[in-house]
Amino acid sequence: MPTHTSGSASFASGGIFFHGVRADPSDIADVRRSMQQWLGNLHLGPEHEQDVVLASYEALANAVEHAYAANDPQATVDLEAVYRPSDRHLEVTVADHGRWRDVMDRTGYGSRGHGLTLMRSLSTEMVVTPGLDGTHVAMRWSL
């Protein structure tokens, strides 16, 4: 399963792990594609796969947008996804190493700010843990 992201990626039958991926839209899009391929190999069904990919990508996009200043060369994100077939649980953790920054809605339409609600509605359970070393978003699906 090739990837073009910076950082390191590893794949196992029960998990997919990305560490030190550049916090850049093109690099997280590569992570999303790898997630789709990995989930497809698990045969969870298209609805579950789409929910996991969308929620995971939203968490990555939030990290890119809110954790770092634009063009920060040190900005990285991590994603870990683990599937436990014995109990039919899938867990995804997305972490950044920055500090929360509010991004103003430049469009004036007020359509921003629904990412956490979306992630919460797509997963069985979600916990956001902010800290001095970054923010961790843990999502879980009971399949």
Q: pLDDT tens, 35-88?
A: 999 999 999 999 999 999 999 999 999 999 999 988 889 999 999 999 999 999
103 has a pLDDT exceeding 90:
no
- Report the amino acid identity of residue 61: A
Strands (E), the chain: 8-12, 15-22, 76-84, 89-96, 125-131, 134-142
pLDDT score recorded for residue 10: 66
